[in-house]
Amino acid sequence: MTTDWLERTALLTGTYGLEKLKNTHVMIAGLGGVGSWAAEFICRAGVGQITIIDHDTIKPSNRNRQLCALESTTDKLKANVMADRLKDINPEIKLNKEVFFLKDEKTNQLINKLKPDYIIDAIDTLSPKVFLIYYAMTQNIPIISALGAGGKFQPSLIKVDDISKSHTCRLAFNIRKRLRKLGIHDGLKVVYSTEPVDSKYIVAVDNESNKKTTVGTISFIPAMFGGYCASEVVNDLLAEKK
């Protein structure tokens, strides 16, 4: 018997598919414009165990694109706000909440401890992003990585492809370059946009520790990146052999 709130999902997935998702563990690294929406969609799809990771607090500038960013949640930890929201959607969810900056050995330790079935990489900072991708791939853990959503305006130009086929995305270029040095040339599924970024959408900043520039964003593009990530994860999980 299906849970009432998932009865419409069950019409698409069938009972087996619903049980498959219920018994699956998805990790979402980063709860910004992409990751917050990806976590929401994964939860509403009926995934039974979710790990969310983010160290940051909500700022007023997040409100144009991040799911948890409201006037009432300003200065609260993104992970705490997201955790409350996911539990309100599915009170039975098994939720792991990690509030720290994911990098280096912490990545190894967390993945080894939790052993997720799939990872959504929605990290903004390059080095931790590459380390997470590298570790997941070398451990044969399925992962999908969201690339640059900033400076984009056209949803029709969002693509899902192997990293080796990505183009017109500066973040994709930098990730390909770093992964090649680590011996990885392909095999990573990515969500990216082929829309060029006009330089007028980028401004230099000197008040953020991990960023040298800020790129303009619009409400719907990061959410659509998150939707593409969630869709690929759910479809891949349901496509696995019974």
Q: Model confidence over 11-26: pLDDT tens digits?
A: 999 999 999 999 999 9
CA distances from 66 to 23, 62, 206, 217 (A): 28, 6, 22, 11
pLDDT tens profile 167-223? 999 999 999 999 999 999 999 999 999 999 988 988 988 765 566 788 999 999 999
Token pair in block for residue 141:
């853990």
- 3-state secondary structure string across the chain: CCCHHHHHHHHHHHHHHHHHHHCCEEEEECCCCCHHHHHHHHHHCCCCEEEEECCCECCHHHHHCCCCCCHHHCCCEHHHHHHHHHHHHCCCCEEEEECCCCCHHHHHHHHHHHCCCEEEECCCCHHHHHHHHHHHHHCCCCEEEECCCCCCCCHHHEEEEEHHHCCCCHHHHHHHHHHHHCCCCCCCEEEEECCCCCHHHEEECCCCCCCCEEECCCCHHHHHHHHHHHHHHHHHHHHCCC
Neighbours of 227 (CB within 10 A): 19
Q: Which domain, by its residues, includes 95?
A: 4-239
Write down the pTM of the prediction: 0.95
pLDDT at 231 over 80: yes
pLDDT tens profile 65-86? 999 999 999 999 999 999 999 9
Residue 97: name the closest of 74, 112, 77 by CA. Answer: 77
CA 237 to chain centre: 16
Contact present, 175 and 143 (Cβ < 8 Å): no
pLDDT tens profile 81-129? 999 999 999 999 999 999 998 888 888 899 999 999 999 999 999 999 9
pLDDT at 209: 54
Q: In the Cβ-directed half-sphere of 73, how many Cα atoms lie within 13 Å?
A: 20
For the chain, the domain total comes to 1
Q: How sure is the predictor about 1, in pLDDT bands with cuts at 50, 70 and 90?
A: very low
pLDDT at 211: 67
pLDDT at 204: 84
Q: How sure is the predictor about 242, in pLDDT bands with cuts at 50, 70 and 90?
A: low
How does the average pLDDT of the chain come out, rounded? Answer: 94
- Looking up residue 141, the CATH number of its domain turns out to be 3.40.50.720
pLDDT at 144: 98
